[in-house]
C-alpha cells in the first residue's frame, strides 16, 4: 500500500452555496403560476352558475299529454268492424253481435292506451313513461322536426339512447346527458311543442 504523502495537499470538490434568500413565489401565486384569487373567483363563478341552474330547474312546471288524435279511433273502429265481419263470412256459429261488441271496445281501448304518455318537467326532473332524469344532468337540448327525428332514431341513432316517441306525434327533442355514471348518451322524446320544451330546458343545461 502506498503511503500518504504528507506534503501533498488534497482538495475536496467545492460545493457552490447560493447567496441571498430563496426565491419563493410571490404572495397569492402558486408554483404553477395560477393566482389563488383567480382560482377562487372561478370556483365562485362555477358555484353561482350551478345555483342559478338549480333555481331555474325548480321553477319549471310543464306537462304535456300526448293524446291520440281522434281519427285514430275511426281507423281502429274500421279495422275492428272488418275483423268482426270475418266471423260472419267464415260461417262460424257465433251470433253477429258478439264479435262486434268485443272487438269495437277493444280497439277503442288500444287506441286510448297509446295516448296515456305524459311529458312532465317539474320538481327538478324530466319524467316520461316512468323514467326520471334530474335536470342537473342535462348537457344540452336539440329541437327535432319529424324528418330529423326519424333519422336520429334510425340508422344514425345510438342503440344505448333512451327513446320515447309516438307515431302520431311528428316533432320531438333530443336531450343530451352529461352524467359520467350514465351510459345513456341522450333521450329522444316526442313532443308537439319542441321549441317550448327546448326553451325551458336550455337555461338548466350545463352546455348551452
pLDDT at residue 28 above 50?
no
Predicted confidence (pLDDT) per residue in 94-109, tens digit? 677 788 888 889 999 9
Which grid coordinates are listed for 29? 401565486
pLDDT at residue 197 above 50?
yes
Domain residue limits at 139: 122-204
pLDDT at residue 89 above 90?
no
- pTM metric for this prediction: 0.66
Determine how many CB atoms are found less than 10 A away from the CB of residue 56. Answer: 17
Comparing 169 with 93, the larger pLDDT belongs to: 169
What is d(CA 42, CA 5) in angstroms, rounded to the nearest whole number? 70
Asked if residue 104 belongs to a domain, the reply is yes
Say whether both 132 and 176 belong to one domain.
Answer: yes
Residues 159-177 have a mean pLDDT of: 93
Asked if residue 34 belongs to a domain, the reply is no
Asked if residue 60 belongs to a domain, the reply is no
Residue 82 backbone dihedrals phi, psi, to 5 degrees: -65, -45
pLDDT of residue 17: 47
Amino acid at each position: 500500500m502506498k503511503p500518504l504523502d504528507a506534503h501533498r495537499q488534497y482538495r475536496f470538490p467545492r460545493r457552490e452555496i447560493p447567496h441571498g434568500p430563496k426565491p419563493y413565489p410571490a404572495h397569492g401565486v402558486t408554483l404553477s403560476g395560477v393566482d389563488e384569487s383567480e382560482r377562487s373567483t372561478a370556483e365562485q363563478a362555477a358555484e353561482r352558475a350551478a345555483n342559478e341552474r338549480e333555481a331555474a330547474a325548480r321553477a319549471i312546471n310543464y306537462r304535456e299529454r300526448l293524446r291520440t288524435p281522434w281519427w285514430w279511433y275511426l281507423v281502429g273502429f274500421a279495422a275492428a268492424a272488418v275483423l268482426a265481419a270475418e266471423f260472419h263470412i267464415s260461417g262460424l256459429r257465433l251470433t253477429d253481435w258478439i264479435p262486434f261488441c268485443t272487438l269495437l271496445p277493444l280497439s277503442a281501448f288500444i287506441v286510448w292506451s297509446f295516448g296515456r304518455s305524459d311529458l312532465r318537467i317539474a320538481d327538478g326532473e324530466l319524467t316520461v313513461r316512468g323514467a326520471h332524469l334530474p335536470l342537473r344532468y342535462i348537457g344540452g337540448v336539440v329541437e327535432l322536426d319529424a324528418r330529423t327525428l326519424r333519422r336520429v332514431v334510425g340508422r344514425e341513432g345510438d342503440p344505448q339512447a333512451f327513446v320515447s316517441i309516438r307515431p302520431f306525434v311528428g316533432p320531438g327533442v333530443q336531450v343530451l346527458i352529461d352524467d359520467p355514471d350514465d351510459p345513456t348518451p341522450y333521450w329522444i322524446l316526442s313532443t308537439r311543442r319542441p321549441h317550448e320544451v327546448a326553451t325551458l330546458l336550455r337555461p338548466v343545461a350545463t352546455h348551452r
